[in-house]
Amino acid sequence: MPVDVRKRPTRLVSSASAIWSWQFRIILVGDSTVGKSALLKRFTEGSFAETSDPTVGVDFFARVIEIEDSVPDFSRCRLQIWDTAGQERFRSIARSYYRNAVGALIVYDITSRKSFENASNWLKDAQLHAENGIAIALAGQKSDLNARREVSTEEAEAWAHENNLPFLETSAKNDYNVERIFSKLAVDIYNRINDGRLKSCEGIKSGLVPAQPLSDIASPIDDSGCTVNTSECCNATGSA
């Protein structure tokens, strides 16, 4: 049964007591300085820094979210998120992380028209290098800077609709729609597994066992990129 995220708020679950039924690998992509790292820091740590160093290569983050009133085996989900550098010289590194990712969040800056225009290139990258059926969403970052806007909400909505992408404008600074965009992406991944659009072994049901600490990147990861703490795979064919 598909899960509807619109009435399903998320909340942070502490790593000490968290249990999770699925783990999904998600990749964040977009031009440099659009606010990917700030968005991720707000989502995983609940904080915001006015200035930060640009990502070099790839950074790793993880968080457990709870989809309230969800179906029994998708109440909690661990998102394993890879934040990629947007500079062209790191593009080949970012592309290598599409393999086994089951979700991608394309981020642009509403005050930078170029970053929005380049979203089409990031979408092509995801479609070319990622698993068939990967869930992709679009986030328009820095919605708090509306006075400097170069991309209208309506234009971004139209482009996202044309490409069948969930879309929200977000603000890491004001914590606007940050929870919601990641929750929408997680639910889309789950629904794609549930209805067979993700064909390979994109998730393994855990049976709701205690999760690994969120800071532990040594959690078991199979070739699909979204794993849990058992050996039962959602699809016996394995990954491509």
Find the range with the poorest average confidence among 93-102, 114-123, 131-140, 167-176.
93-102
Chain mean pLDDT for the chain: 75
Q: Which long-range contacts (CB under 8 A, 24 or more apart) does 90-97 make?
A: 90/56, 90/57, 91/125, 93/57, 93/58, 94/27, 94/29, 94/58, 94/125, 95/125, 95/129, 97/27, 97/58
Phi, psi of 48 (to 5 degrees): -145, 135
Kindly report, residue by residue over 39-61, the tens digit of the pLDDT. Answer: 999 999 999 876 665 554 567 78
Specify the higher pLDDT residue, 143 or 62: 143
CA proximity to 199, closest of 230, 233, 232, 229:
233
Q: Does the pLDDT at position 159 exceed 90?
A: yes
Identify which has the larger pLDDT, 182 or 57: 182
May I ask the CATH class of domain 28-203?
alpha beta
**DSSP state letters, 46-68:** S---S--PPP-SEEEEEEEEE-T
Other beta carbons within 10 angstroms of residue 164's beta carbon come to 7
CA angle 10, 172, 60 (to 5 degrees): 75
How many whole angstroms from its chain centre is CA 218?
19
Above 50 in pLDDT, residue 226?
Answer: no
Q: What is the pLDDT of residues 192-202, one digit of tens each?
A: 888 888 765 54
Cα–Cα distance, 136 to 69 (Å, whole number): 24
Question: Strand, coil or helix: what is 174?
Answer: coil
Mean pLDDT across 152-166: 98
In this structure, are strands 58-66 and 103-109 parallel, antiparallel, or unpaired?
unpaired
The pLDDT of residue 96 is above 70: no
